[in-house]
């Protein structure tokens, strides 16, 4: 079974509708497939980033998609009012310290070889940086760049993004 991570990013994610779609794929297709067919399904583990919100964590189960229906699944998901990015399952973690705050991010790599850095909220003890992120447009709430391979390039992307976020209100006040 192939395993991927699905990044859901947006200002509001319609969880009720999303859960209905997931149930359709999981129960109508995966549960009714033979054990032999189930072995070929793709498992998508959901990760959420919801802008402008200290959203309640919704429990959303893994999504099981037959490879033949992956494009249809992506089409359905991409017609909803949020961004969905299919990423490789393996991901990394990077840290930086700015203004005395230690910040950690999870690093995802999309199937298109674009790297996404998402803040790990639990590492931002006083929530100063996380709260500042919530005031920014969605596209500024994470860092992304194509084709990054070296550790120092990840670190540069992280440091540059954090500096931009910290400077953002001063530039746009």
Check residue 138 and give its pLDDT. 86
| Same domain membership, residue 101 and residue 83 | no
The predicted structure's pLDDT at residue 53? 54
Q: Which of 88, 120, 142 is the last residue of a domain?
A: 88
pTM given for the model: 0.85
State whether 68 and 141 are in the same domain.
no
Q: Determine the Cα–Cα distance for residues 145 and 56; give it in Å rounded to an integer.
A: 29
Number of folded domains that form the chain: 2
Let me know whether 97 and 83 are in one domain.
no
Q: Which residues of 18-43 are buried (b: 16+ CB within 10 A; e: fewer)?
A: beeebeebbeebbeeeeeeeeeebbb
Which of 88, 111, 140 is at the close of a domain? 88
Low-confidence ranges of the chain (pLDDT < 70): 51-58, 121-126, 169-173
Residues 53 and 66 in one domain: yes
pLDDT in tens, 5-32: 999 988 778 888 899 999 999 999 999 9
Whether 47 and 114 share a structural domain: no
Structure tokens at 130: 């996380």
- Residues 12, 50 contacting (CB under 8 angstroms): yes
Query: What's the CA gap between 154 and 165, in Å, rounded?
Result: 17
**Shared-domain flag, residues 30 and 67:** yes
Q: How far apart are CA 73 and CA 43, in angstroms?
A: 12
73 and 15 part of one domain: yes
């Amino acid at each position: 079974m192939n395993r991927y991570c699905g990044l859901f990013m947006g200002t509001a994610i319609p969880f009720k509708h999303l859960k209905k779609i997931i149930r359709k794929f999981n129960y109508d297709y995966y549960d009714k497939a033979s054990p032999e067919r189930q072995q070929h399904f793709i498992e998508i583990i959901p990760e959420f980033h919801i802008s402008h919100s200290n959203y309640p964590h919704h429990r959303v189960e893994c999504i099981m998609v037959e490879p033949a229906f992956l494009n249809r699944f992506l089409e359905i998901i991409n017609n909803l009012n949020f961004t969905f990015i299919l990423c490789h399952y393996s991901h990394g973690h990077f840290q930086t310290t700015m203004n005395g705050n230690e910040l950690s991010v999870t690093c995802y790599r999309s199937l298109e070889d674009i790297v996404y850095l998402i803040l790990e909220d639990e590492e931002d003890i006083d929530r100063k940086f996380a709260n500042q992120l919530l005031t920014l447009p969605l596209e500024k709430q994470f860092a992304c760049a194509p084709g990054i391979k070296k550790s120092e390039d990840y670190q540069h992307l992280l440091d540059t993004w954090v500096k931009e976020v910290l400077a953002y209100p001063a530039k746009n006040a």
